[in-house]
Amino acid sequence: MGEMISFRVVKEPYGWAVRVGQGMMTPFRSRVTAINHANGFAETLRRHGETAEVVLEEIWPMQPQPCERDRPRFRPLLMRARAGAGSRDME
């Protein structure tokens, strides 16, 4: 039996990841899936006599950059919907 192996579930820009040290990383879209995956690895190692833990790190170390737009994204769609509704009322 050696040192404890830590599986870290961390927030990433694309979703969640399970990390072991700095090198090994497995990406996931949901936190629940990442936690289940890390728990599965840890349980398998425990069955073989190793010590393992799962650590949940919910704080994202880098703040995302705000997306700057000069106009709202859905405005043309709303304008088309309003224009269509007005023409039906006149019939």
Instruction: Give pLDDT tens digits for 42-73.
Output: 999 999 999 999 999 876 555 554 555 555 55
Using CA atoms, how far apart are residues 60 and 19, in angstroms rounded to an integer?
14
pTM of the model: 0.60
Q: What is the mean pLDDT of residues 71-90?
A: 53
φ, ψ at 61 (rounded to 5°): -65, -30
86, pLDDT greater than 80: no
Specify the number of domains making up the chain.
Answer: 1
Q: By residue range, what is the domain housing residue 57?
A: 5-89
The DSSP element (H or E) to which 83 belongs, if any, is helix 75-89
